[in-house]
Amino acid sequence: MEASKHPDLVPTAVLFPYGKMGQSASGIACDTTGGKFGPFENQLFIGEQTHSTVMRVDLEIVGGQYQGACFPFRAGFQSGVVGVELAPRGGLFVGGTSRGWGSRGTRNFAIERLDWTGEMPFEIKTMRLRPKGFLLTFTKPVDAKAASDLTNYTIDTYTYIYREQYGSPEVDQTKPTLLSVKVAEDRMSVELTIDGLQIGHVHELHAKGVRAQSGEPLLHNEAYYTLNHLQAF
């Protein structure tokens, strides 16, 4: 871990895996609307210029510093997302441009507004560190049988080279072992016990087989947790 080599280096709270989450992270907005923009109060929404998307970030403090997970949120914006701003009434205003950079959105520029319909999506709401793994919380109750099946989860880790050159490939890949999963009584969370957590690595989790109690699949089944610190609980 580079931070262990350089005591004055504060590690990046969340890494956005290149090509998977995006290539050009941009503006940041924090949801302080009190639930008017959906179930992600106090989380961050991050613009992504190249992929024309908005990403979502949930943070926690571990070892006195912020770290946490990023998730896909919304795609299909008409231009490369640069500025994002949440209105007090709950709308997310998104400003974009592709002039000077390429983007999946084909328009030279765009201003759009994203509103919550009031219908609850089935998402991984948070991914938080636990002594021997991670706690996943959801926006809806899960199907206990599907959520308790270890084969419905996969996890891999990797990190990046800290260097002055632009970019880095994924390096030092590892494959942690999923040992167990425990579903909470209210079915709103699961705790994964994992052998092989790696300090300084992104932990890429997929929960493809997990279903809501109603039977619907996750809108996005992937999460990427940047693990800078472990601590005793």
Contact 112, 94 (CB under 8 A): yes
- Of the pLDDT bands very low, low, confident and very high (cuts 50, 70, 90), residue 107 is very high
pLDDT for the residue numbered 101 = 81
Asked which of 78-82, 140-144, 166-170, 192-196 is least confident by mean pLDDT, the reply is 166-170
CATH assignment, 2-227 = 2.60.40.1220
pTM beyond cutoff 0.85: yes
Question: What digits encode the pLDDT tens for the residues 197-232?
Answer: 999 999 999 999 999 999 999 999 999 999 999 975
pLDDT for the residue numbered 108 = 93
- The residues spanned by each domain of the chain are 2-227
Asked which of 6-10, 23-27, 139-143, 225-229 is least confident by mean pLDDT, the reply is 6-10
Cα angle 43, 44, 45 (rounded to 5 degrees) comes to: 130
pLDDT for the residue numbered 4 = 65
SS3 120: coil
Residues sharing a CB contact under 8 Å with residue 94, sequence separation 6 or more, in sequence order: 47, 54, 77, 81, 83, 84, 110, 111, 112, 113, 114
Identify the CA nearest to 141 among candidates 104, 189, 200: 189
Mean pLDDT over each residue of the chain, to the nearest integer? 94
User: Is 80 exceeded by the pLDDT of residue 7?
Assistant: no
Stated as kind and residue range, the H or E segment containing 4 is: helix 2-5
